[in-house]
């Protein structure tokens, strides 16, 4: 859903970016530092041939994983990640934030608690959306996060997840931001899928707006976050064949928002990615495919790697 603590989507002011830079971005192994963007091409996604992932099979689309009842307390920090092999991203830290939690719906009182987000107050967290077939967004988010972690670790990055099935609910959106801040992350990506109307298709990357107040100050992260998001958008297109959103961002694949605590409270470069619309049958067919999820993780990994390598 549009996200992380948001209400149902409404189209927002388009982000104006150069289409020529997008084409260059898609044709290269990584986007340059000139602010290239995703190719603006509305219409059905071209999925191509999916390749089954070598990772363990994700949960069945008909149900979501249930965290262990021996989970850490809601305020417990993420466990220390294992050492990564040496590689081009050695010495870099990436925080992956899988949106929501499969068990949030069992803890409505806790996730409805209001927290400060810089521009006001919002719920601690929300339940997220699901496909019409019952595949929960939270399960999708965690599955893609695991695949992304594997890809980044193979390049030598230290990877931290904001949660990994080890909590009964949450974390709250303000804590998700603090985890990236405390890790001094070089990049943070929050994984999501949207819950919009049928016919609304495609992905979009959400960038932080300029926000100052209530403990939030994004002045130092707006520019690098845009660079990170632009690279992810372009390389997500190349990896998945999906088109930028036809209902958010003016077909650029990018959207700027100031109502998300996870972005407002971040002090390190951070973006959200809405990988598709779970409520559209065509997008849902992609999101429930393990092969497509692997492609999605690869596109995000490529974007992060391009950003970190400069």
Q: Known catalytic residues? A: 274
Q: CA neighbours within 13 Å on the CB side: how many for 106?
A: 11
The two structure tokens encoding residue 114: 């209001």
Distance between CA 119 and CA 65 in Å, rounded?
A: 33
The DSSP bridge pattern shows strands 270-277 and 187-194 to be parallel
Q: How many residues does the chain have?
A: 310
223-239 burial code (b ≥16 CB/10 A, e <16): ebbbbbbbbbbbbbbbb
In terms of Cβ atoms closer than 10 Å to its own Cβ (0-12, 13-18, 19+), residue 19 is middle
Who contacts 33 (Cβ-Cβ below 8 Å, separation ≥6)? 227, 310
Check if the beta carbon of residue 240 is closer than 8 Å to that of residue 193. no
Strand partners for 213: 216
Distance between CA 281 and CA 36 in Å, rounded?
A: 30
The two structure tokens encoding residue 161: 């997840």
C-alpha distances (whole Å) from 126 to each of 29, 105, 304, 305 are: 36, 8, 26, 30
Check if the beta carbon of residue 117 is closer than 8 Å to that of residue 174. yes
Q: CA neighbours within 13 Å on the CB side: how many for 30?
A: 15
Longest dimension (CA), the chain: 52
Distance between CA 31 and CA 199 in Å, rounded?
A: 29
Distance between CA 214 and CA 171 in Å, rounded?
A: 20
């Amino acid at each position: 859903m549009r996200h992380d603590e948001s209400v149902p989507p409404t189209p927002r002011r388009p982000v104006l970016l150069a289409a020529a830079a997008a084409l260059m971005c898609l044709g290269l192994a990584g986007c340059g530092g000139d602010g290239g963007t995703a190719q603006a091409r509305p219409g059905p996604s071209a999925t191509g041939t999916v390749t089954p992932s070598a990772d363990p099979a994700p949960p069945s689309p008909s149900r979501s994983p249930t965290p262990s009842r021996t989970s850490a307390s809601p305020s417990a920090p993420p466990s220390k990640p294992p050492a990564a092999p040496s590689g081009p991203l050695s010495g870099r830290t990436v925080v992956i934030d899988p949106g929501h939690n499969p068990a949030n719906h069992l803890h409505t009182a806790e996730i409805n608690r209001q927290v400060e987000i810089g521009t006001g107050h919002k719920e601690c967290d929300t339940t997220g959306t699901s496909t019409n077939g019952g595949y929960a967004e939270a399960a999708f988010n965690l599955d893609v996060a695991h695949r992304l972690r594997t890809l980044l670790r193979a390049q030598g990055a230290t990877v931290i997840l904001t949660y990994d099935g080890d909590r009964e609910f949450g974390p709250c959106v303000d804590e998700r931001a603090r985890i990236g801040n405390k890790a001094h992350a070089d990049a943070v990506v929050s994984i999501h899928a949207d819950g919009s109307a049928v016919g609304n298709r495609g992905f979009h990357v959400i960038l932080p707006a300029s926000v100052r107040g209530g403990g939030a100050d994004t002045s130092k992260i707006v520019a690098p976050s845009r660079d990170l998001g632009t690279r992810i958008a372009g390389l997500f297109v190349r990896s998945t064949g999906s088109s930028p959103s036809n209902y958010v961002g003016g077909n650029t694949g990018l959207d700027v928002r100031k109502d998300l605590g996870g972005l407002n409270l971040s002090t390190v470069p951070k973006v959200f990615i809405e990988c598709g619309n779970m409520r559209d049958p065509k997008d849902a067919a992609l999101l429930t495919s393990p092969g497509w999820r692997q492609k999605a993780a690869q596109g995000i990994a490529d974007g992060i790697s391009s950003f970190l390598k400069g």
